[in-house]
Amino acid sequence: MKVGFFLPQMGPAANVDSIVKVAKRAEELKYDSLWVTERLLYPTNPQTSYFGGPLPDPYKRVFDPLETLTFAAAHTSRVTLGTSVLDIPFYNPVVLARHLTTLDVLSRGRLRVGFGLGWSKDEYDATGANMKTRGKRADEFIGVLRAIWTTDPAEFHGKYFQLPKSIIQPKPVQKPHPPIYLAAFSPGAMKRTATLADGWMPVGMTVEQLKSTSTQLRSIVKEVGRDPANVKVIARYNFAVTPQPQGKDRAFFSGTLAQIKEDVAAIKAYGPDELILDATFSPDTHTEQDFLRNMEEIRKML
């Protein structure tokens, strides 16, 4: 099982020095991957709650995900660089393809692209995105990316996106293209993952949920005529370290380091293709040194 860690891209620890130091230390510790996420706004009167509660404070300070990865790429040489996730409705696929291709070329083929559909009504309003058509647009969006990355000249004609026959260079280093992962839960999104993606990127699932949903996904992958081995499972968790042990009803990946170690062992025993962990929301993580400490503690567990 590969293991990845999030860069300090959000919250009080996010700054130039922390991004560089965490990226370099990740390579020294032999992490396989580094990750960033997307958050556009911290609305003062949100239209959409965060899992029934207020928005987390780290959302008040967020560096751009692709600029952050590009900066990390310049200070590393081996670790892969991923998004978990970019929200498809906020982008134009032709423009984003150029950004992603450039990052893959500059990093010498280390880019991995996770996509989602977003959930914040405020962010949809701010970007002019349409919640009602987001699923169908996502299908075409991925089609445009693949056309640009794998054909020359590239061309695409759909209901939502048009790409006239054009030469678009350079192409990504990775062939046929950088891996595409989808954060999917609904039936339609799972079908999209099985049909179009190179991997599935769930967030915060228990081992039982991960097993059950992975089984469902593998079945859908077979139904659409693909090999389940070609659709990776990348399990992501936001962990929260507390000074005192949490009770038996604690959230997965929350509690003392000893309790989190139990959760790491449980995930490792199940065996997804990769485990990625984010310290951004942990109550003990406020500084660059907090990030480094947690990253080092997690590596010892693996």
Q: Quick one: which of 211, 302, 222, 295 has its CA closest to 21?
A: 295
Instruction: Please check whether residue 217 is in contact with residue 194, taking contact to mean a CB–CB distance below 8 angstroms.
Output: yes
The string of pLDDT tens digits covering residues 97-120 is 999 999 999 999 999 999 999 999
Q: What pLDDT sits at residue 154? A: 98
pLDDT 10s digits, 239-249: 999 999 999 89
pLDDT higher than threshold 90 for residue 129: yes
User: pLDDT tens for residues 40-98?
Assistant: 999 999 999 998 889 999 999 999 999 999 999 999 999 999 999 999 999 999 999 99
Mean pLDDT over the full length of the chain: 96
Q: Residue 72 to residues 110, 111, 224: CA-CA distances in angstroms? A: 11, 11, 37
User: How many domains does the chain fold into?
Assistant: 1
CATH of the domain at 228: 3.20.20.30
User: From CA 199, how far away is CA 111, in angstroms rounded?
Assistant: 14
The pair of structure tokens assigned to 52 is 């029934």
pLDDT digits (tens, 9 = 90+) for 143-162: 999 999 999 999 999 999 99
Q: Residue 184 has what pLDDT?
A: 85
> 32-57: string of b/e by CB count within 10 Å (b at 16+)?
bbbbbbbbbbbbeebeeeeeeeebbe
Give the bridge partners for 163, in sequence order. Answer: 156
pLDDT at 185: 85
The span from the CA of 176 to the CA of 97, in Å, is 14
Amino acid at 140: E
Distance from first CA to last CA of the chain, Å, rounded? Answer: 9
Question: Any residues with CB less than 8 A from the CB of 210 and at least 6 apart, and which?
Answer: 202, 233, 235, 267, 270, 272
pLDDT confidence of residue 52: 81
**Domain span holding position 34:** 2-301
Sign of the Cα pseudo-torsion (278, 282, 287, 291, in order): negative
